[in-house]
Structure 1
């Protein structure tokens, strides 16, 4: 993976040794945790944003739902990465939980972007999380970053979420929006739930299985974020999805093949809607999303196909 670039000889006194100070919000989550471990392993200093009293110089207090952050703790950071937010798939979408999902993302991003914009020595880059939910239902039609936002709760959320990063961009800080797909990993997300089911021989397609799942291996997700941190010529939205989206039916076949387990079951769409409520639309919806800008920038996926992504997670 590329290092976060820190040029030498800066008048602001930042390190010219290649060792960067990088703030990560959401470092306890699946992607943020993997990113923090990767950066730390390569000798970078990771500052974690936490909701409790800081336990040392590598923690900064913040309260994303209420839009507060200890901006002084971000001083000297070369980059700020915001991957925080209540899990979209963690529970049924009641009105109260939808409010929590929105506030944790929009208010938290606003607080960080405004803090970055107001800093005397702002970071060189602000990377803000988003999701391919931006595009909504696309059916079998492929879309890239040039496509408009879709309709519904998730597209509307993503539009607000990304707009909340505007203060950083308007202050001249390079701002990157990472629209992440379904992350293939054992430790969380959709696949964190799929692996135990398939290992037990209880896996199967969801609905009729024709909906596209735009996946990305956790390894490639972290590598792509680091690529975007490093490249000073890149800004704006980037889809973090493998270049070959597959249908849920193909995912089911691949899981069965890689895990050597049968996948005889199928969950009918009406059952999913009864159990999941409004969130079923996200599970049954189709999003065939392509990482056009990431590929154009020269990024190369280690696991572009679904079988390799599943094996990498194992």
Structure 2
């Protein structure tokens, strides 16, 4: 299968590439081809701009994971614009190229996030849950709408609404580990808000699953079937590291430091992967304890 991948040099993209490259021909879209070669190897075809393409007829599948990290910086107006347009523009251009050809890719797997649902308190959330309107929802809703405009007889579209991805190479866990390894870890805010997470290997496996199952289309919650509260997550992480668990980051301090962006961490969603499970997908790491022990095991040996 010939695949076009966006976001291939990112946290999830790099892990996904290690599974795709032995079996598929992958081209990676990146404004910096040198970064592609440095991170993924010189045998990978790097495409610097979609403007170099007339259509996408040469590809069997497109996996669209590109986007400015949503929780890395305070949400200034300029940062909000970067978050939106880094997702919207590339998705819109991909879809335009798919429509421009006669034999477009058979599948588009496009990223989204559980932020689509907005704050949901402790309500169990599935793919049909009515979202709460706020910035994270607005970003994801437009992102998904653009991707779904490619859906038709020749192309099916799958949307993956990612939770917090757990992996040793990066993401949220890498930012938490320094304080937890010093014994200074603890929950954020009340600790009662839910955190929907997924092991990075399960992210890779579900992308491969959606590639290989032509009956799958539409939105899929990419989260493990065991969402936990912030307090449960924090306690489990500390226990896996063999560290104390007593510190707490108050909500007022998070809002002072990060403004509106802090709401991503101080509110939450209790998301269930209903449609993935109905489709027959099985999680390798369904429980947090198992996921964290596998992720942290290389670190605990050092």
Q: Same-fold call, TM > 0.5?
A: yes
User: Which residue of 1 is the match for residue 27 of structure 2?
Assistant: 47
Equivalent-residue separation in structure 2 for 1:69 and 1:309 (angstroms): 40
Distance change >3 Å, CA 69–CA 304, structure 1 → 2: farther
Q: How does 1:30-179 map to 2 (within 5 A)?
A: 30-40=11-21, 42-52=22-32, 58-62=45-49, 68-72=50-54, 74-170=56-152, 172-179=154-161
Counterpart selection for 1:294 from 260, 276, 293: 276
Match of 1:237 in 2: 219
Report what 1:3 is aligned to: none
What is the CA distance between 1:202 and its match in structure 2?
1.6
1:108-154 CA deviation, whole Å, 9 max, x = no partner?
11011111222232111000000000001111100100112221000
CA distance in 2, matches of 1:87, 1:306: 23
Give the TM-score taking structure 2 as reference length. Answer: 0.91
Match in the other structure for 1:11: none
Q: What does residue 287 of structure 2 align with?
A: 305
State the Cα deviation string for residues 29-74 of structure 1 (Å, max 9, x = none).
Answer: 111111111111x321111001136878711122xxxxx5433484
Question: Measured at CA, do residues 53 and 224 of structure 1 come closer, stay the same or move farther in structure 2, by a change above 3 Å?
Answer: closer
C-alpha separation in 2, matches of 1:306 and 1:70: 43
Deviation at 1:313, TM superposition (A): 1.5
CA contact (8 A) 2:104 2:154 kept: no
Distance in 2, matches of 1:282 and 1:267, equals 14
Question: TM-score scaled to structure 1, two decimals?
Answer: 0.88
Name which of structure 1's ranges 50-59 and 231-240 shifts more when overlaid on structure 2. 50-59
Unaligned runs of 5+ in 2: 38-42, 297-302
Within the alignment, does 1:21 sit opposite 2:24 as a pair? no
Other-structure match for 1:275: 257
1:74-106: CA deviations, max 9, x gaps? 442211000000000111110000000000001
CA distance in 2, matches of 1:143, 1:39: 31
2:230 aligned to which of 243, 248, 257? 248
Structure 1 stretches lacking a partner, 5+ long: 1-19, 63-67
Distance in 1, matches of 2:13 and 2:33, equals 20
Q: Is the partner of 2:151 in helix, strand or coil? A: helix
SS of the residue corresponding to residue 169 of structure 1 reads coil
Bigger shift: 99-108 or 166-175? 166-175
2:185 and 2:84 mapped to 1: Cα distance? Answer: 31
Residue 199 of structure 1: how far off its partner (Å): 1.3
- Judging changes above 3 Å, is the alpha-carbon distance between structure 1 residues 59 and 171 closer, same or farther for their aligned structure 2 residues? farther
Q: Distance in 1 between matches of 2:288 and 2:269?
A: 16
Give the whole-Å Cα distance in 2 for the aligned partners of 1:238 and 1:268: 33
